[in-house]
């Protein structure tokens, strides 16, 4: 018996003792090896017409012997090939590179690359490889039962190609290996992982057939096993663009990504350049239930020449486009782990860059040409784009700013920032927004009325992240974001300004008294001309707005309460003001209660909870 090379031993050990949940990828690995071997012989057949070009991969299950066989009529292996290829693995730096953190990386290694032939040891105790190389007059058998070693002996195999026989492990609690011998299981694995292999992958399927000689009145049936092709063989993305219809793409999407609804958009891109690849990208019509949770895994399906290497290659999508589904197939990527992982990473990065640009330009096109669907998309995934604009201190804000939408007070629908800026009033220099939990609540904010009357369009910020996005962006097209509660809509109206300052002077003592009685709650109490019908509102000074206070305090780890610096604004034109003056002059204690009631009212209008229900209720009762 011969010994495996040290590195191979390590890989095998890993495979034999693997707890890797996705053991089933071994079949994909064997099939892709078979497909490669056929590729080689197919190439030879171009010049050697004696080669049998009826290429196929056949999978057979034998329940009695507990064996699963994968046979191809590819190029085959010589005695030396068997020694070299199956006795050694990963001659390159791949493993050396992975040396630290062995076990954890091992699991990852299997997950990402399957580590080829050896992955069969995840399901088999014993592996026999029968092979006859092209043009060889001898066949050989390679056999191994694990780390102990392997033997290579002469064999009788008559046809060119390779037959791999796996004797499955006994069923265990972790996995029912015998299931791999079931027709349905083989079918589903081939469909899932190897559907687009260019050669037919066949297995014997049982059919009921009428026995010959039995009459139509009294038919008798017998069970017949017939070879059936399991894979569709032609990847959709290998067809020319003009051949692929929208319905094909929709159908493909639904099958491939298990969605019941058509995608909002399907993109078929063929990229040719230093790196050549095909991409099918889809914008789903609805977010998966776990989309906004940490359980969601983004990623595109990655194929190398029609062979799936990864179900979800995360690296191909930035977080903010994490909702995009699709596949990428590149001839420049290799399944072979013996290639440098680093090099592969660089290629993946280059593809990711191209994909990101493509998604971005397609979304912009959708926004311009298919507004209805874009808005649907935005309703589902807009939050993802907004988080993207905010994340990493806004490092991607410029890429995303034109994809964002906000609800407009004027249009009563979503608008882009570009649209907002284009329609700004003469002399308007800022982008106005107002925050709240819902559009209804924002629409009834006291501060809104005046701004609306003055003819300004206001963006309604309903999501917690909205204002953070505005702060991190600072401006759009040179126009700064400004909260309506901080803006001064009386600008330019000198008369109103004068009136306000006169009145503030007149009410100086009252305002100071109220401020003192609300100490710890508000930073200031002042008169305002920003209000129309409402008597009061809360505004803020400083960096933190009321909306931000709400968001920050609702975070799971918000142990220390964050307080916005609040200012209680009293409507200078409201008749209540006169009343406050009277009360101040006759009953200062009562004014304290009024101050409290007004303050709590203003909180309610902002969507903040009543701070002290008991005091509030008793103050209201007293006043009533």
Q: Token match 């299931």: residue?
A: 179
Residue 222 tokens, joined: 């017998």
Half-sphere exposure of 551 toward its Cβ, with a 13 Å CA cutoff? 17
**Residues 34 and 162 sit within 8 Å (Cβ to Cβ):** yes
Question: Nearest distance from residue 201's CB to ligand ADP, in Å?
Answer: 13
Toward ligand ADP, which CB reaches closer, 38 or 525? 38
Question: Nearest distance from residue 478's CB to ligand ADP, in Å?
Answer: 55
| CA dist 251 → 165, 256, 449 (Å) | 36, 8, 50
Toward ligand ADP, which CB reaches closer, 39 or 319? 39
567 burial level (CB within 10 Å; 0-12, 13-18, 19+):
buried
Q: Is 111 helix (H, G, I), strand (E, B) or coil?
A: helix
Question: Nearest distance from residue 33's CB to ligand ADP, in Å?
Answer: 3
Rg, Å, the chain Cα set: 35
Question: Nearest distance from residue 346's CB to ligand ADP, in Å?
Answer: 19
Toward ligand ADP, which CB reaches closer, 34 or 333? 34
The strand pair at 161-168 and 300-304 is best described as unpaired
Q: Taking Cα atoms as reference points, which of 479, 476, 477, 470 lies closest to residue 545?
A: 470
DSSP characters for 455-475?
Answer: T---EEE-SHHHHHHHHHH-E
CA distance 278 to 517: 69
Toward ligand ADP, which CB reaches closer, 37 or 544? 37
Question: Nearest distance from residue 186's CB to ligand ADP, in Å?
Answer: 17
Toward ligand ADP, which CB reaches closer, 34 or 366? 34
CA distance 611 to 493: 36
Tell me the residue nearest to ligand ADP as measured from the CB: 116
Question: Nearest distance from residue 362's CB to ligand ADP, in Å?
Answer: 34
Question: Nearest distance from residue 121's CB to ligand ADP, in Å?
Answer: 11
Toward ligand ADP, which CB reaches closer, 163 or 401? 163
Helices (H) and strands (E) in the chain, counts: 20, 22
Q: Using CB under 6 A, list all residues that contact ligand ADP.
A: 29, 33-34, 37, 72, 74-77, 85, 89, 116-118, 162, 335-338
Question: Nearest distance from residue 116's CB to ligand ADP, in Å?
Answer: 2
CA distance 567 to 486: 10
Toward ligand ADP, which CB reaches closer, 117 or 277? 117
Q: Is 582 helix (H, G, I), strand (E, B) or coil?
A: helix
Distance linking the first and last C-alpha atoms of the chain: 100
Toward ligand ADP, which CB reaches closer, 69 or 428? 69
């Amino acid at each position: 018996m011969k010994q495996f090379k040290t590195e191979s031993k390590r890989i095998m050990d890993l495979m034999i003792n693997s707890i890797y949940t996705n053991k089933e990828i071994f079949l994909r690995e064997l099939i892709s090896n078979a497909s490669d071997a056929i590729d080689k012989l197919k190439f030879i057949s171009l010049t050697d017409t004696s080669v049998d070009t009826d290429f196929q991969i056949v999978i057979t299950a034998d329940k009695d012997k507990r064996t699963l066989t994968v046979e191809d009529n590819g190029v085959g292996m010589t005695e030396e090939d068997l020694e070299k290829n199956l006795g050694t693995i990963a001659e390159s730096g791949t493993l050396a590179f992975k040396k630290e953190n062995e076990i954890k990386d091992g699991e990852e290694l299997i997950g990402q690359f399957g580590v080829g032939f050896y992955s069969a040891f995840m399901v088999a105790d014993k592996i026999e490889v029968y092979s006859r190389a092209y043009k060889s007059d001898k066949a050989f058998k390679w056999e191994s039962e694990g780390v102990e070693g392997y033997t290579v002996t002469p064999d009788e195999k008559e046809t060119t190609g390779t037959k791999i026989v796996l004797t499955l492990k006994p069923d265990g609690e972790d996995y029912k290996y015998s299931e791999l011998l079931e027709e349905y299981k083989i079918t589903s694995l081939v469909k899932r992982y190897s559907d687009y292999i260019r050669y037919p992958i066949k297995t014997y399927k049982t059919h009921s057939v009428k026995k010959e000689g039995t009459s139509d009145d009294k038919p008798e049936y017998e069970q017949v096993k017939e070879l059936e092709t399991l894979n569709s063989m032609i990847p959709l993305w290998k067809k020319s663009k003009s051949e692929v219809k929208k319905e094909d793409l929709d159908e493909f999407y639904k099958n491939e990504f298990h969605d019941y609804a058509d995608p909002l958009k399907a993109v078929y891109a063929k990229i040719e350049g230093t790196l050549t690849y095909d991409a099918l990208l889809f914008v789903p019509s609805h977010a998966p239930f776990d989309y906004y949770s940490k359980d969601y895994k983004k990623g595109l399906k990655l194929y190398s020449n029609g062979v799936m290497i990864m179900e979800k290659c995360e690296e191909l999508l930035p977080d903010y486009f994490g909702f995009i589904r699709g596949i990428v197939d590149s001839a420049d990527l290799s399944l072979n782990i013996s290639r440098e992982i680093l090099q592969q990473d660089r290629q993946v990065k280059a593809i990711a860059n191209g994909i990101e640009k493509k998604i971005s330009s397609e979304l912009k096109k959708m926004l311009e040409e298919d507004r209805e669907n874009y808005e649907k998309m935005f309703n589902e995934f807009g939050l993802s784009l907004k988080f993207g604009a905010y994340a990493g201190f806004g490092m991607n804000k410029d890429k995303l700013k034109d994809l964002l939408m906000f609800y407009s007070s004027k249009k009563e629908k979503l608008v882009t920032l570009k649209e907002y800026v284009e329609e700004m009033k003469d002399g308007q220099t800022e982008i106005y927004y107002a925050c709240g939990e819902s559009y209804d609540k924002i629409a009834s904010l006291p501060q809104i009325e005046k701004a609306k009357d003055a003819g300004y369009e206001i963006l309604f910020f309903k999501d917690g992240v909205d204002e953070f996005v505005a702060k991190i962006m600072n401006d759009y097209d040179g126009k700064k974001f400004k909260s309506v509660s901080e803006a001064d809509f009386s600008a330019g109206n000198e008369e109103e300004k004068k009136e306000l300052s006169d009145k503030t002077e007149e009410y100086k003592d009252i305002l100071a008294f109220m401020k003192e009685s609300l100490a710890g709650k508000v930073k200031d109490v002042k008169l305002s001309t920003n209000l129309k019908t409402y008597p009061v509102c809360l505004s803020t000074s400083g960096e933190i707005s009321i909306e931000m206070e709400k968001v920050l305090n609702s975070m799971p780890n918000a142990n220390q309460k964050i307080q916005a610096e609040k200012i209680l604004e009293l409507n200078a034109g409201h008749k209540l003001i006169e009343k406050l003056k009277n009360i101040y002059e006759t009953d200062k204690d009562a004014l304290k209660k009024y101050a409290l009631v007004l303050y709590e009212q203003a909180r309610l209008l902002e969507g903040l909870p009543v701070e002290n229900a008991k005091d509030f209720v008793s103050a209201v009762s007293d006043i009533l």
